[in-house]
């Protein structure tokens, strides 16, 4: 099966924003921004592995991440360069952790 990693310019901006507009997915994106390429299993944010897989699919299909197989794991990474080029400032704006309240 094709990995469904679309050309970023073909993804409507609302889809990109919607992908980022979820707490679990935002935590995944932040972890990727900090830790670089990581296995799916490393994102344990209190949801089941089915749900985690779903969120990673949403991120991938919104053009935010790329995935490659590595043994029994799959390694995910942020498409940061492409994102920064097409939407300069977006990731930076979203990634910086805010004061708690």
Partner DNA sequence: GGTGTTGTTCGATTATTGTCGAACAAGGGT
Partner DNA sequence: ACCCTTGTTCGACAATAATCGAACAACACC
Residues near DNA, by CB under 7 A: 1, 18, 22, 24, 39-41, 46-58, 67, 69, 71-74
Site string for a second copy, 17-46 (x = CB under 8 A): xx-xxxx--x--------------------
Report the C-alpha gap between 26 and 20 in whole angstroms. 6
- Helix ranges (H only) for 22-69 are 23-35, 49-61
Query: Does position 13 bind a second copy by CB under 8 A?
Result: yes
Three-class DSSP category at 11: coil
85 interacts with, out of DNA, a second copy, none, CB within 5 to 8 A per kind: none
The closest alpha carbon to 66, from 26, 9, 21, 8, belongs to: 8
| Per rule CB under 8 A, count of chain residues that contact a second copy | 23
């Amino acid at each position: 099966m094709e990995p469904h990693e679309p050309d970023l310019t073909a993804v409507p901006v609302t889809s990109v924003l919607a992908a980022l507009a979820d707490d679990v997915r935002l935590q995944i994106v932040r972890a990727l921004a900090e830790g670089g390429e990581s296995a799916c299993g490393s994102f344990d944010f209190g949801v089941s592995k089915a749900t985690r897989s779903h969120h990673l699919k949403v991120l991938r299909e919104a053009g935010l991440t790329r995935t490659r197989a590595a043994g029994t794991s799959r390694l995910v990474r942020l498409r940061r360069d492409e994102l920064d080029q097409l939407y300069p400032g977006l990731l930076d704006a979203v990634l910086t952790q805010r004061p708690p309240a």
